[in-house]
Amino acid sequence: MEILFLIIPAGVLFSLLAFFVFELKAIKANKNADVAATSMSEKLENYNTINNAVAFGVVSYVLTLVLSISTYDPSYGLIHALLYIFGTTFIGSIIIFVIKIKKSLLIKVFASFLYGVPHMMAAGAAFLTSFILS
């Protein structure tokens, strides 16, 4: 169980770095967009949100898979995997929420959601994969 104190901070750090890389890509994509977006669907398209969220999910999957293969033992049980998944997602979402403190509430919630959902799905799939492989 003490291994969680090592892999949760590592998971948060690596996943946040990946998230901010894809957020920078989204900002660049919006700057390169030709028209000013008026509707929410146009804004999502201008920021290339779907592609960036999927790419972030894939990167999170790979990072979590590496961490889970190197540290997870099925004898730890399901609680170990769930603590990692929910711990890293919760801490990362709070950090994103705090970093965007000067932004509107909608932007803070949306950014935290775009981090949390792909990360939880990817981390769950990675732990499932490592459990199947072991």
| Any domain includes 111 | yes
Based on its alpha-carbon atoms, the radius of gyration of the chain, rounded to whole angstroms, reads: 16
Q: Which domain holds residue 103?
A: 4-15+57-133
Q: What is the pLDDT of residue 1?
A: 67
| Any domain includes 102 | yes
- Render pLDDT for 18-76 as a digit per residue (tens, 0 to 9): 999 999 988 887 777 666 666 767 766 777 888 999 999 999 999 999 999 988 887 88
123 confidence band (pLDDT: 50, 70, 90)? very high
| Any domain includes 44 | no
Residues 6 or more apart in contact with residue 6 via CB below 8 angstroms: 71
- Render pLDDT for 89-116 as a digit per residue (tens, 0 to 9): 999 999 999 998 888 888 888 888 999 9
Q: What is the pLDDT of residue 47?
A: 74
Mean pLDDT of the 79-91 span: 94
- Number of structural domains, the chain? 1
| Any domain includes 23 | no
| Any domain includes 39 | no
87 confidence band (pLDDT: 50, 70, 90)? very high
| Any domain includes 11 | yes
Q: What is the DSSP string of 36-105?
A: ---SHHHHHHHTTHHHHHHHHHHHHHHHHHHHHHHH--GGG-HHHHHHHHHHHHHHHHHHHHHHTTTS-H
Using DSSP, state whether 35 is helix, strand or coil: coil
Question: In a 10 Å sphere around its CB, with 0-12 CB exposed, 13-18 middle and 19+ buried, how is residue 85 labelled?
Answer: buried
| Any domain includes 32 | no
